[in-house]
Amino acid sequence: MVRTHTYSAYDLLLRSEFKLSELPTVEGSSGSPDVEIRHGTVDPVPESVEGTDGRRIAATPDSVRLTYDSVGSFLVEDGKQITCDPSDEPASKREFFCRLIENELLGLILYQRDHLVLHASAVSIEGKAAIFLGPRGAGKSTTAAAFDKEGYAVLEDDVVAICFDDGVPTVVPGVPQLRLKSDAAAALNLEKTTTPSEEPWYEKRMLRIEEVPDPAQLGGCYLLTDGEQCALEPMAGGEQILNLISRTYARGLLSDTKQSAANFNQCSRLSRAIPVQKLKRPRVHQQLSSVVDLVIGNIKEPE
């Protein structure tokens, strides 16, 4: 009998044949899991399919199949199951293999379960969630780390999942970990509490989040941009929706999975409930405390 591990992430119960050390362990659970992660045979995505960075994807409305060169192939189905077919035994022991499951593949599970999934970071401020959007390198993780240092709980660092329970957008807690560049960790005096990746090419350091917060209703959504001073700036409705769509996780799969209309509706609902604002600030670590104060004030006393 194959030994399994039980974990919790994104308000889901996960049963896995692979050890996923970054996820919170659930002891003594006998209930049926929401998601099963198993070892099995997966046909590789044909090399004729155009890929990027050694990854090829084939998607339908019900499933997504991925192949990573030198790592293996994966099948994500119906928001309920992930089948992993590592290229060899050493590949399944790599940190990168586990992080694929914990981040990219779980992100696809959430996408299939009709969550709005964004490339973003999120923190909880007295029970209200603040989401930080922006392109790669915009400072999403660093901003979340600044809130963590001030005692506010981190909901997620990379793959933010939003459900619309009772029509209210709610952020569910994800993988309890921050990924920081060395300069950001040093500036926040967190370097001694972080660990380097086992993958030599990966430049960020990992900060384990010890306490997993409860799901939090969305209280603010901020697009990180450069500015001379810390300030919030409103955005037109159409611009808000376009920015949410552009930061949607698996945006490139919307057409193949027949989810373009549903994604547009989700982004529209979010912007109507909580407008997206530009958060302008200087790109210097010394200003992070001002960013924290500005967002907290906006969450507690929205205009």
Cα 48 from Cα 57, distance rounded (Å): 11
Co-location of 241 and 278 in the same domain:
yes
Question: Which of 113, 137, 154 is the C-terminal boundary of a domain?
Answer: 113
Question: Which of 113, 132, 166 is the C-terminal boundary of a domain?
Answer: 113
Contacts of 162 (CB under 8 A, 6+ apart): 115, 116, 117, 118, 169, 170, 171, 172, 218, 266, 270
Q: List the structure tokens of 122.
A: 């999120």
What pLDDT score was predicted for residue 180? 87
Co-location of 145 and 89 in the same domain:
no
Co-location of 154 and 48 in the same domain:
no
Sign of the torsion formed by the C-alpha atoms of 228, 232, 234 and 238:
positive
User: Residue 92: enclosing H or E segment and its boundaries?
Assistant: helix 89-93
**139 DSSP 8-state letter:** S
Co-location of 234 and 280 in the same domain:
yes
Co-location of 85 and 151 in the same domain:
no
CA torsion 126-131-136-139 (nearest 10°) is: -40
- The DSSP secondary structure of 274-303, one letter per residue, reads S-EEEEEE-S-GGGHHHHHHHHHHHHHS--
Q: What is the pTM of this model?
A: 0.92
Co-location of 124 and 34 in the same domain:
no
8 A C-beta contact, residue 95 and residue 85: no
Per the document, the length of the chain is 303
Cα 21 from Cα 7, distance rounded (Å): 9
CA distances from 294 to 18, 169, 237, 255 (A): 42, 22, 22, 38
| pLDDT averaged over every residue in the chain | 91
Co-location of 123 and 199 in the same domain:
yes
Instruction: Report the amino acid identity of residue 162.
Output: I
Q: List the structure tokens of 228.
A: 């001379």
Co-location of 35 and 85 in the same domain:
yes
CATH code assigned at 294: 3.40.50
What angle, 0 to 180 degrees and rounded to 10, lies between the N-to-C axes of helices 140-149 and 288-300? 80
> Which residue segment(s) compose the domain that 80 sits in?
5-113
Helix locations, 176-236, DSSP H: 182-187
Co-location of 270 and 128 in the same domain:
yes
Co-location of 214 and 157 in the same domain:
yes
Of residues 74 and 195, the one with the higher pLDDT is 74
What pLDDT score was predicted for residue 201? 65
Q: Check pLDDT > 60 for residue 275.
A: yes
Q: Check pLDDT > 80 for residue 241.
A: yes
Determine the average pLDDT of the residues in 258-267. 93
3-state class of 41 per DSSP? Answer: coil
Co-location of 280 and 157 in the same domain:
yes
In tens, the pLDDT along 87-125 reads: 988 888 888 899 999 999 999 999 999 999 999 999 999
Question: Which of 113, 148, 179 is the C-terminal boundary of a domain?
Answer: 113
Indicate the number of domains in the chain.
2
Cα 159 from Cα 241, distance rounded (Å): 18
In tens, the pLDDT along 276-301 reads: 999 999 988 888 999 999 999 999 87
What pLDDT score was predicted for residue 72? 94
Co-location of 141 and 254 in the same domain:
yes
